Amino acid sequence: MPINTVHNHLVLSKDSIHLFPAIIISIVIILSAWYINRFLQKAIVNISQKHNLEQTLVKAVANLTYLFIYALAATLFLENLHVHMSAVFGTLGVVAIGVGFALQKALANMTSGMFLLFYKPFFIGDYIISDKPKFQGKIIDINLRMTTLEFNGDLVLVPNHTLYSAVVIVKKAQ
């Protein structure tokens, strides 16, 4: 094997010189995303403590912020390395439509749960009654997915979407 052939694999082409700044900028993007995310997570915790917000709602907002920052960083990272993002976004769009249809009820329950935790129409310990759909009981727990009631010693699990869209009579706990 001629010596020139071995050395040709080790020589940088004129296009490779652009790779080093792109790698450095990509590392800066990831580190910046980490720092910004850390800052925003602390800010969310501080605001929630200052305003005494519901912890389940705070965790949901913190998780959404976390996902948004890192998704943005991943997009900038790939764009910086000249990956064609239109193809990536097209594929992700088709996948998102499928996942959206599959998780339609779960997402409706989570959204309704966020509204219930934010607006606080009732609290743990209150007694609620609904005629359509028919359910009643003392509220034991409220989370993003469902509200747990106790009725005659039994647990009644009501999806938040059902609860949020129902007409409910609330008897405040004494």
Distance of CA 76 to the CA centre of its chain: 19
pLDDT by residue, tens only, the chain of 174 residues: 555 454 555 555 666 667 788 889 999 999 999 999 999 999 999 999 998 888 878 888 999 999 999 999 999 998 888 888 888 888 889 999 999 899 899 889 889 998 988 888 998 999 999 998 999 999 999 988 999 999 999 999 999 999 999 999 999 877
Q: Does residue 89 sit in the same domain as residue 44?
A: yes
Q: Does residue 28 sit in the same domain as residue 90?
A: yes
Domain residue limits at 142: 121-171
End residue of a domain, out of 53, 68, 102: 102
User: What is the pTM (predicted TM-score) of this model?
Assistant: 0.61
Q: Does residue 72 sit in the same domain as residue 127?
A: no
Residue 7 domain-assigned (yes or no): no
With b for 16 or more beta-carbon neighbours within 10 A and e for fewer, the 110-133 pattern comes to: bebbbebbeeeebeeeebbebeee
Q: 75: domain CATH number? A: 1.10.287
Q: 135: domain CATH number? A: 2.30.30.60
End residue of a domain, out of 42, 68, 102: 102
